[in-house]
Structure 1
Amino acid sequence: MSLRVRAILVYLAIAFGGVWPYLFFVRLSLGWSLINPLVQLPVAFMPAIGAFVVRRWVTREGFVDAGLRLRFRRAWRHWLVAWLMPLGVTALALAGAATAGWWNGDLSPAGGPGGIFLLLMLQVVLTPAYMGEEFGWTSFLWPRLIPGRPRRSVAATGFIWAVWHYPLAYLGYAEFSDHTVSMAVWTIQFMLFEVMLCWLYAKTGSVWATSLAHAGNNMVQGVLTEQLLINGGHLDALRVIICVDLALSLVCIPLVRSKAFTAAPGKAIGLPAADQPTLG
């Protein structure tokens, strides 16, 4: 077994083994709600723990290529994209819902423009909380899963990331009326969103920029679609996910065809050759 494969297996064992049993235990044995942010905290940082353990003790490669620098001065435009892209995806999803006759354009359930601005500020404040997943899935797993094949690797990473979330659909966090169809379109949403995150990582070289976008997905796109389409428009979760998937497709198809996915991830983010992940 190569060092790269062993590193990936150890990482996945920690990411899944530290989260799935925990989720079932706290929900089924302790009765805790998974919507509670304090209950979510160990889940959010388990991928980072896995990546840290592998980098420190399995491969001993260190953290030079981990994307821990902000790189804001060099990539400030893409930082701005990371901040506003989730809002843009939300706007496209709402436009699709309005076209289908599922939404009447009323922003009041979300507090109007003022409420949206507050969510954008909250996105920035909560960015560090999403670093745990990004340090694991985007910074560590994507460059290593299928070396030299960034498009295939982003698809595989997104699929694994989706599966990692599956217990949430059965433990009261996500409510689906039809699990067969809903889980399929939910999985597609994760895979598309991972395209956005990996594109941002390739453009900025910073896991903090992808964490900002991840925060926007949850705190802007997630909250707005829930407030406006589920609470305000009385849609079920499946139709909301379909709207978001279509919006993400419009954004991510051009991204996945871009130059960011034509080179190995290490080269794409501008790392020196010596610092790029080359585990055999």
Structure 2
Amino acid sequence: MIITGTTPPPGPGRTDDPTALSPEATPPERRVPWAAVLTFLVVAYGGGWLIALPLWRSGGLANPLFLPLGLAVMATPTLAALVATLAVVRPAHPARFLGLTPVRPWRRTLGYALLGFVGVQVLGALAIVLAWVLGVTPLQVTGGAWSSLVSMQLLGLVVTVAALGEEIGWRGFLLRALRPLGTGKALVLSGLAWGPWHAPLVLLGYNYGTMDPSALIMMTVTTILMGVLFGWLRMRSASVYPSAFAHGALNASGGTLLAAFAPAAGVAPSVLGWVGWLLLAVVIGGLVATRAFRWARPGTASS
């Protein structure tokens, strides 16, 4: 199903083309800048593999450089977005094009950021509850579970900084660049591209605990579904920051919630597994049914 947004009425500076951008401070793109998209993908994918190469040559996840190299990999989409935007697209307002400005109205930006940050954690908790209802895993409150929930909030805020490195690329640049294809296609394709980019770390056993290629397929299913929700935050806020807060919460909460309430369940009850996918699909279906996928205009109140 293609998710469509509202089409502005005809008039000066308006168009009846449902795939065109709504009026913004930067000129609307009528076609996908494919050269820029290709440049972005080459830099993001190539940079990720290049940075992760020392992990593949020695130690894998046990390499003492895993954490700094992993954080560096997360920054490659931003590097790719800057190269593609400044060297190929060259918009009049690069920061606005990438969703970095404006952050006003503050209430809208902060509201969607809070929704993303809290909402992702709630979805993670509900996935565990759903797994318990389906008989996939028993609920087990481990010692220190509640203190872990508190520390998870602080960790999520810290990780948001690193997550912004990905979001500027995937939701800031790529989702925006693909908009002329239509909202639904742009959301799905940007999420589809986001998944295999994780290969340098996922195929080392990160996230899924296995080096089997099926882990990368599972990650791609997750990124498509989660990418739709992150993309919705980007669209409705006209800013990349809410999706970064949601992404930071995702990275901080997934393993923490499983360790606190379902330590022996594997990834199935999380958003990385099939139970979580069911929950994400229901949420996306609800947003589609309520016609919530509309692009907000920066600098104006959200409708």
Give the TM bin, normalised by the shorter chain. Answer: 0.7 to 0.9
2:278 to 243, 246, 252: 246
- The 5 A counterparts of 1:228-239 are 228-229=261-262, 232=263, 234-238=264-268
| Correspondence 1:18-33 to 2 at 5 A | 18-23=47-52, 25-33=53-61
Tell me the distance in 1 between the aligned counterparts of 2:288 and 2:166: 21
2:203–2:213 CA contact under 8 A, matched in 1: no
1:270 aligned residue: 297
The separation in 2 between residues aligned to 1:174 and 1:126, in whole angstroms, is: 16
Answer whether contact 1:196 1:255 (CA < 8 A) is retained: no
Shift of 1:129: 1.1
- What is aligned with 1:96? 130
Contact 1:65 1:271 in 2 (8 A): no
Code of the residue aligned with 2:177 in structure 1: it is R
CA separation in 2, counterparts of 1:134 and 1:177? Answer: 26
Shift of 1:152: 1.1
Per-residue deviation, 1:235: 2.4
| Structure 1 residues 97 and 130, CA gap change in structure 2 (3 angstroms) | same
Who is 2:77 aligned against? 47
What is the CA-CA distance between 1:94 and the residue it aligns to?
A: 0.9
- Offset at residue 204 of structure 1 (A): 1.4
Find the aligned partners of 2:84 and 2:219 in 1 and give their Cα distance.
29
Pairing partner for 2:97 from 61, 65, 82: 65
Change (3 A) 1:172 1:75: closer
Alpha carbons of structure 1 residues 125 and 60: separation in structure 2 relative to 1, 3 Å: same
Compute the displacement of 1:79 (Å). 2.2
**TM-score, structure 2 as length reference:** 0.77
- The count of aligned residue pairs is 261
- Of stretches 62-71 and 191-200 in structure 1, the one that deviates more from structure 2 is 62-71
Deviations 1:122-173 (A, max 9, x none): 2123211111110000011012225141111111111110111123232132
The letter of the residue matching 1:246 is L
Structure number with higher helix proportion: 1
Q: Report what 1:212 is aligned to.
A: 245
Match of 2:26 in 1: none
Query: Match for residue 56 of structure 1?
Result: 86
Identity %: 26
- SS of the aligned residue for 1:126 comes to helix
Confirm or deny: 8 A CA contact 2:195 2:223 kept in the other structure: yes
Q: Secondary structure at the match of 2:96?
A: coil
State the alpha-carbon separation in 1 of the partners of residues 78 and 48 from structure 2: 12
TM score, norm. by length of structure 1: 0.83
Moved more, 39-48 or 183-192: 183-192
CA 20–255 in structure 1, closer or farther in 2 if over 3 Å, else same: farther
Structure 2 unaligned spans of 5+: 1-30
**Which residue of 146, 151, 157 corresponds with 1:118?**
151
Matching residue within 183, 193, 196 for 1:163: 196
What is the distance in 2 between the residues matched to 1:67 and 1:186? 25
